[in-house]
Amino acid sequence: MSALFEPYTLRLLTVPNRVWMAPMCQYSAEADGPNAGVPGDWHFAHYAARATGGTGLILTEATAVSPEGRISPHDLGIWNDTQVEAFRRITGFLKAQGTVPGVQIAHAGRKASTGRPWEGGAPVGPEAGGWQPFGPSPVAFDEGHPVPDALTTGQIAEVVGQFADAARRALDAGFEVVEVHGAHGYLIGEFLSPHSNHRTDEYGGSFGNRIRLALEVVGAVRAVWPEDLPVFFRISATDWLDDKGWTADETVRFAALLKEHGVDLLDVSSGGNAARVRIPVGPGYQVPFAARVKAETGLPVAAVGLITEAEQAEKIVSNGEADAVLLGRELLRSPSWARQAAHELGGRVRVPEQYHRSV
Catalytic residues: 186
For 289-313, b/e burial (b = at least 16 CB within 10 A) is bbbbbbeebebbbbbbbbbeebeeb
Distance CA 73, CA 108 (A): 11
Residues in contact with 357: Cβ distance below 8 Å, sequence separation at least 6, in sequence order: none
Cα radius of gyration rounded to whole Å, the chain:
19
Distance CA 77, CA 339 (A): 30
Distance CA 76, CA 83 (A): 8
Decide: 112 and 125 in contact? Cβ < 8 Å.
Answer: no
Report the interhelical angle of 337-345 vs 310-318 (nearest 10°): 70
Distance CA 234, CA 251 (A): 11
Distance CA 231, CA 103 (A): 10
